Structure formats: C-alpha cells, structure tokens
Structure 1
Amino acid sequence: MSKLRFVDVCAGAGGLALGLEAAGFDPVLLLDRKALACETLRMNRPTWNVQEMDLLDFVPDEHQLTYDVDLLSAGLPRVKSSATVARAETEEELRLLEAAVLLAHSIQPRALLIENVPGLVDSPSFETIREFIRKELEHLGYRFRWFVLNAADFGVPQDRKQGVLVALKEPYFDAFHPPTPTVDSHVPVGSALHRSMAARGWSGADAWAAQALSVAPTLVGGSDKRGGADLGPTGTKKAWARMGVNGGALADEVPGPDDDATGMIKLTVEQAALLQAFPPKWEFAGKKTARYRQIGHASPPPVGNALGRAIAAALAP
C-alpha cells in the first residue's frame, strides 16, 4: 500500500514531521524560514525536500509536487493575545496562521492539520481568526474540529497542552476521531532523564530521579530577539526548583562524579530534547541557545504520530 503524502510548513526542527513519518506519511516538501531549522532537517533526513523560505512568500505553483498530497500540516509560531504582546508580533503570527489556511486553496489536500496554543480552540481573544478559518474551510468543502491535546497523555514527559485544528474534505470527516491517550500514566522527569543524569558517574543521579516525580513543565523556546536559553518564566522555574533543577540556564554537559550530589543541577540541550520526546539520535544545528529554541518551539513527535494515525484512519479507503 502506498504511503500518504504531506507538505509541512513552518516545519521547525521536525517534531511534527517526525511524528507524521512514524504514522506512515511521506513528506513531499518541508518549508521553514529559519536557516538553522532547515539545517537540522537536512542533517537528520538528507533525502527530505527542505526549502528555506517564509510561508508568506511561498508560491505553490513553483513546487508542482505540492499539488498531489493527502495532508497539509503546520506547527505554526504560537499566536498570542494582543493584550499581552506587541501588536506587530501578534499580527505576524496571525498572518502565518491565515497563510497556512489559505494554502489549502492551491494545494487542496484531503486533510489539513494545524497545531498551536490551546487558547486558539475556544478563547474569545481568537474568535475573529476562528471565524476567518471557518469561512475559508467551508468555502473549500472541508469540515473541521478544534480540540486540545496534552503531550503527557501520549508518553511525553511534559505537561504540554496543544490546540489542534483538523479539517478533512467532506467524504472523510465522519471517519475522523481525535486521538485518545496512548499511556495509562504520565512519564515523570526522573524516569525520562535518569539514564542521562547518571551517564558521567554523578553520584546523585538515583536520588535526584527518585524525587523528580512530576512531568516537566511546558518547555518554552522563547523569542529569537530576546535573552538566552532558560527553562521558562518565573512560575516554571519554581516548578523546576521543586525537582532540584536550576531553570535559569542550561548546562553544557550532565553532572559528573565531582558534582555535588545534593545541589541544584541544570539540564542540557540534549535532555530538553528528551523531554520533547525527540529520538536520542536526532541532532540540532547551531549553538546551545539556538538548539534549545528549536527544541522548545517544536511539537513532540509522539503527538504528531497520534494525530497522523487518526488522520490516516479517516483517509483510508
């Protein structure tokens, strides 16, 4: 049986594409405007067709392969309420969301998948953009569902809620059902990172893992325009501190045999990738802060896998 084909825009470090690949989809084109993200994709999947381009500048007529695809997917930059951020930044994110929906006009996939913030599903702040999306999709003959998933329900050791839009052409819609949790219990940070914490002989690894019994707070990639790499805002750092982690910075390597067995430790970029459930061999281009931002902005692959399987089941003959 031939694999389903997809185009992924705002592909980032490849988290959503990896999940869709695991669900049986083959990428025809992956698009991202950031050079390092494209380098990451090419390093790990040299055979993928990766194009460095802003979604707002993308012209499908120049990429004929994009016309015959089953799915258009987009893990877009997170939209924010105009009450909390600068208007220009908000408008840019909303323009990308609109562009992803408008791309369905020319590509005409059987299904559309957009992943973003939970508030996009039902917050009054986003009623205008939801109405725009409704009109466009109904005009094109799609039916759609909004829903929220938590990555922790799919084996990701992180409390990461994601707002999801899935639209399908009329003949397939009734067969679609949002994915249900794949794990009976959430994976705590200690279990997810114990092996890596002990890798250099740190004597505190066992005790640290035994008390890190919660899933991780949501990783936040942050803005490319501000600051260095840390694990998030003040409340998030306090949650990390309760697990013995200094969330104010990232380490270059995991603790070694000479490090304090009872002190606060810092996570590495590689450990952040494990908390996003990237495969251990997946590499990220760039320096430490740039690598962490790619990870923090990504969609965890297991969530993409679950969504891909649900969409594939609906598209099955």
Structure 2
Amino acid sequence: MGDLTFVDVCSGAGGLALGLEQAGFEPRLLLDDDELAVTTLRANRPQWNVLTSDLLDFDPSEHPVSYDVDLLAAGLPRVRSSATARRVDTGIEERLLEATVYLVHAIRPRAVLIENVPELVHADAHRRFRDFVHSELHHLGYALNWFVMNAVDFGVPQSRKHGVLVAVRQEWAEAFRPPVPTVTEPMTVGTALRPSMAARGWADADRWAAGADQPAPTLVGGSKNRGGADLGPSRAKQKWATMGVNAHTVGDRVPGPDFIWAPALGRDNMVKLTVEQAAVLQGFPVSWQISGLKTARYRQVGHATPPPVGNALGRAVAEALNSDPAPSGAG
C-alpha cells in the first residue's frame, strides 16, 4: 500500500497523520496553528513537512507540494455535540469544516477524509453542513460516504465514537468500503495501563488493573479557555471512579511504592492518570512525545484522533485508490 500521499490539516498531536503513515501514506504537508502541536509533530517526525498556519489563512498556491496528492485528511476541532452543549459557540469549528471542503476545490485530491463527532453524520443540527458538502463535492466527481466508527473496535482501550466522511473520486468510489472492526474483545483500561502503573513499584497495580476491567470513557481535551486538565464531563468522572481513578485532574507521575489505594475513602485515595497514560488510552505508541506543560500536553492528547482509527481509515482508502479505476463515465 505504498506510494500514496496526503495533506493533513489541523494536525494537532499527529494521531491521524501517524495512523495514515502506518497505513502506507506519505505526508506531503501537515499544518496546525498551535505552536506546541507543531513542536510535537516535529519532535516525533523531523522529516515531515510541518507548517504553522491557521487553516482559514492557508493558501495552497504558496505551497505547491499540496497539489496532486491522493488524500486530503482533516481531524478537525469538534463541532458542538451533546457532550459539549454548554460550550460557548463561536462558529469556528463549522468554518474549519467548510474551509476543508473549499480546499478540495484547490488541490483536487483523489479522496477526502474528515473526522469529527458522530452527530455530524446523522444529527439534524448538522444537516446544513452535509447538504453543503454534497453541493460542493458531488459536482466535482466525488462520491460521499458518511459513517460512524468506535475506536474501541480497532484496539483502542477507549469507547470513542467518530463521525467520518470519506469522499472518493468516482473512478475509485465503487471500491471503497468503510473499515470493519479489527478486534472482537475490547481492550480494557487495566490491560492497557497495568505496565505503567507498576513501573515505580506500586504493589497494588495488579489489583487495580483487575478492577479496571472495561474500556475508558471518551477522553475530552477541553478548551484553552478552561482551567486545568481533567478526564471529561461528570458522567465520565463517575465511570472513572468505579475504576478507582480520580478523573478530576491529571497526575504528574504514576503511583510509587508507598501509595495507598483506597477508593472508598474518596478521590484523594484514587490513582491519577498521567498524560503519558492518557496517550496510551488514545492508542499512541509509548515512544510518541507530547510537547509543552502538563495541561497543554493533555489537551493535545484529548483532542487527537487515535492512530489505530487513522490506520484503519487509511487502509480502507488505500484499498480503494489502489484498485483499478472505473472506465470514464461509469457509475
């Protein structure tokens, strides 16, 4: 599946780009307006061409390397959903979605991948955007595929649903199939994090892991306008508490040999997850370095597309693009 190229916009910590790389795609250009995210990308992949730029200001004519690529990928900031109903709505997320679609006009990739909240696929609140995409891309010769996938079905130890649009040029559209799950049994938090919990000699790591016998709830990166990092809204915090995890904050390091784990006594006697552990729950390899201070690092992780999701999507797109194109006028 080699020799396929992509441009990735709003790249963040690189989860989607890493997954596409694992699927055999080569990045021509990545861009993000967050300097720490750009630092993260460059630290892990010095050979990648990474640009610090707001998507709304990006002019592909100034970066001709972005033309003639196989895939335009975008793991965009989440639009409002049921989980973010209280968030102040600035409209920036919708503008970024539209900017990605307009970018298709300029660079004409063979396929387009947009990943966002599951509501984008089916909710009435986002019907206007779906109609907009159809009107902009259908006449350019793209067939649209809207679907929802859960990261837990692809080996990620987290229940995290993604709304996905894959638009494929008509020549290859018939060959595209949405990814099918790669695992039959979900990975649990305990299985994923037991090695790190035991890394400093905490004697209760095995007992804790045995009780953390379910996938994590969806990690939420939060807004730059909020205070410190936490693991999500109230319902998620309650679920974390059943696993003996204090989800109201993010820890600096894993428990040491003297830590007394007694969840019945309250959150002060629960474990705290570190940024590195949150990254594991997002499916990042342990070698992936996240730049910045703790809260900024956690937000990069929480906003990321899990690399295994990007990998599965990349493989599905690659299979279509590597198929024999349909004759002109077919379909």
CA distance in 1: counterparts of 2:81 and 2:258, whole angstroms:
46
Percent same amino acid among aligned pairs? Answer: 62
Aligned match of 1:294 in 289, 295, 300? 300
- Counterpart of 2:157? 157
Q: Which runs of 5+ in 1 are unaligned?
A: none
Report the Cα distance in structure 1 between the residues aligned to 2:192 and 2:259, rounded to whole angstroms: 21
Does the alignment pair 1:283 with 2:289?
yes
Matched with 1:182 is: 182
SS in 2 for 1:29: strand
2:14 paired residue number: 14
Contact 1:228/1:289 (8 A) holds in 2: yes
Query: Which residue of 2 is the match for residue 55 of structure 1?
Result: 55
Residue number among 264, 269, 273 corresponding to 1:267 in the alignment:
273
Q: Could you tell me how far 1:268 is from its partner in structure 2?
A: 0.5
- In 2: Cα distance, 1:204 partner to 1:108 partner: 55
The match for 1:39 is: 39
* Unaligned ranges ≥5, structure 2: 263-268, 325-331
The residue aligned with 1:114 is 114
Deviation at 1:146, TM superposition (A): 0.4
Q: How big is each residue's C-alpha offset from its partner over 1:50-80, in whole Å with a ceiling of 9 and x where there is no partner?
A: 0000000000000011111000000000011
Q: CA 1:211–1:52 in structure 2 vs 1: closer, same or farther (change >3 Å)? A: same
Letter in 2 for 1:76: L
Q: Find the aligned partners of 2:87 and 2:284 in 1 and give their Cα distance.
A: 32
Between the aligned partners of 1:16 and 1:86, the Cα distance in structure 2 is 25
Shift of residue 88 of structure 1?
4.6
Structure-1 separation of matches of 2:271 and 2:85: 32
8 Å contact from structure 1 (residues 81, 125) kept in 2: no
Could you tell me whether the CA contact under 8 Å between 2:81 and 2:117 is conserved in 1?
no
Q: Which amino acid aligns with 1:96?
A: L
Aligned residue for 1:103, secondary structure, equals: helix
Whole-Å Cα distance in 2 between the matches of residues 118 and 34 of structure 1? 25
Residue 97 of structure 1 corresponds to which residue in structure 2? 97
- Residue 216 of structure 2 is matched in structure 1 by 216
AA in 2 matched with 1:239: K
Q: Given that residues 80 and 87 in structure 2 are in contact (C-alpha distance below 8 angstroms), is that contact kept between their aligned partners in structure 1?
A: no
1:223-262 → structure 2 map (5 Å cutoff): 223-262=223-262
C-alpha RMSD over aligned residues: 1.3
- The Cα of 1:2 is off from its aligned counterpart by 5.1
What TM-score does the superposition give when structure 2 sets the normalisation length? 0.93
Query: Does the CA contact (< 8 Å) of 1:202 and 1:261 recur in 2?
Result: no
Aligned to 1:314: 320
